[in-house]
Amino acid sequence: MPEAVATTACGSMEVGPVVIPQLDSFPPTGTPKHAKMGSWEFYRSIGSPRRVVAPMVDQSELAWRILSRRYGSDLVYTPMINAKLFADENSKKKKVKYQEVNFNREHAEEGASSPIASLLSNEGEGSSKDTDRPLFVQFCSNDPETLLKAAKVVEDRCDAVDLNLGCPQHIARRGHYGSYLMEDWSLIFSLINILHVNLKVPVTAKMRVYESVEKTITYARLLERAGAQIITVHGRTRNMKGHLTGLADWAKIRAVKEAVNVPVFANGNVLYPQDFYDALAATGADGVMSAEGNLYNPAIMLPNPPKQPSAMFPNAPELPLPSIVKMAHEYLDIVCSLRTPTQSSAIKAHLFRLCRPALEVHRDLREQLGKSHFDHTASGADKIVTYRAFVDELERRLQVDMHDVKWLTQPEPPLPGSVSHLTQPGEGRPAYVPHWLAQPYFRPPLVHEEDQNAEDKLARQKRVEESAKQKQRTPPVDIDDLQNSDELNVINKHADEKHTHARSESDSSAHALDQESAAEKKRAKLE
Q: Where are the domains of the chain?
A: 6-296, 308-421, 449-526
Q: Which H helix or E strand runs over 234?
A: strand 231-234
The answer to whether 268 and 234 are in contact (CB under 8 A) is: yes
pLDDT at 317: 57
Please state whether beta strands 75-77 and 135-140 pair in parallel, antiparallel, or not at all (unpaired).
Answer: parallel
- 426 burial level (CB within 10 Å; 0-12, 13-18, 19+): exposed
Cis peptide, bond prior to residue 413, ω within 30 of zero: yes
pLDDT at 303: 83
CA dist list (Å): 494 to 278, 454, 467, 491 = 48, 17, 12, 5
pLDDT at 152: 98
Report the distance separating Cα 517 and Cα 527, nearest Å. Answer: 15
Report the distance separating Cα 43 and Cα 285, nearest Å. Answer: 13
pLDDT at 422: 60
DSSP letter at 319 equals E
Which residue in the list 140, 167, 336, 355 is annotated as catalytic? Answer: 167
CA nearest neighbour of 421 among 292, 309, 291, 271:
271
Report the distance separating Cα 74 and Cα 59, nearest Å. Answer: 17
Report the distance separating Cα 46 and Cα 245, nearest Å. Answer: 32
- 342 burial level (CB within 10 Å; 0-12, 13-18, 19+): buried
CA 485 to chain centre: 46
- On the CB side of 123, CA atoms within 13 Å amount to 0
* List of residues 6+ apart from 45 with CB closer than 8 A: 37
* List of residues 6+ apart from 471 with CB closer than 8 A: none
- 247 burial level (CB within 10 Å; 0-12, 13-18, 19+): exposed
Adjacency order of strands within the sheet including 6-7 = 6-7, 12-15, 18-21
pTM of the model: 0.80
Q: Does domain 6-296 have CATH number 3.20.20.70?
A: yes
Cis peptide, bond prior to residue 115, ω within 30 of zero: no
The answer to whether 500 and 435 are in contact (CB under 8 A) is: no
Q: Provide the terminal-to-terminal Cα distance of the chain, rounded to the nearest Å.
A: 39
Q: Which H helix or E strand runs over 367?
A: helix 365-371
* List of residues 6+ apart from 287 with CB closer than 8 A: 49, 50, 51, 52, 74, 75, 263, 264, 265, 266
Report the distance separating Cα 451 and Cα 449, nearest Å. Answer: 5
Q: Which H helix or E strand runs over 18?
A: strand 18-21
Can 140 be counted among the known catalytic residues?
Answer: no
Report the distance separating Cα 69 and Cα 127, nearest Å. Answer: 10
Amino acid of residue 219:
Y
CA nearest neighbour of 342 among 102, 119, 509:
102
Q: Is 235 left (phi over 0), alpha (psi -120 to 50) or beta?
A: alpha
Report the distance separating Cα 431 and Cα 443, nearest Å. Answer: 16
Q: Which H helix or E strand runs over 67?
A: helix 62-70
DSSP per-residue letters across 160-183: EEEEEE---SHHHHHHT-GGGGTT
Angle at 112 between CA 76 and CA 102, to 5 degrees: 65
Per-residue pLDDT tens listing for the chain (527 residues) = 343 333 333 344 444 568 899 999 999 999 999 999 999 999 999 999 999 999 999 999 999 999 999 999 999 999 999 999 999 867 777 778 899 999 999 999 999 999 998 887 654 454 667 999 999 999 999 999 999 999 999 999 999 999 999 999 989 999 999 999 999 999 999 999 999 999 999 999 999 999 999 999 999 999 999 999 999 999 999 998 876 778 899 999 999 999 999 999 999 999 988 899 999 999 999 999 999 999 999 999 988 777 765 554 445 556 778 999 999 999 999 999 999 999 999 999 999 999 999 999 999 999 999 999 999 889 899 999 999 999 999 999 999 998 888 888 888 888 887 766 665 666 677 878 899 999 998 876 555 555 556 666 676 777 777 766 665 544 443 333 333 444 334 334 444 444 444 444 434 444 444 444 454 444 444 44
Q: Which H helix or E strand runs over 486?
A: helix 486-502
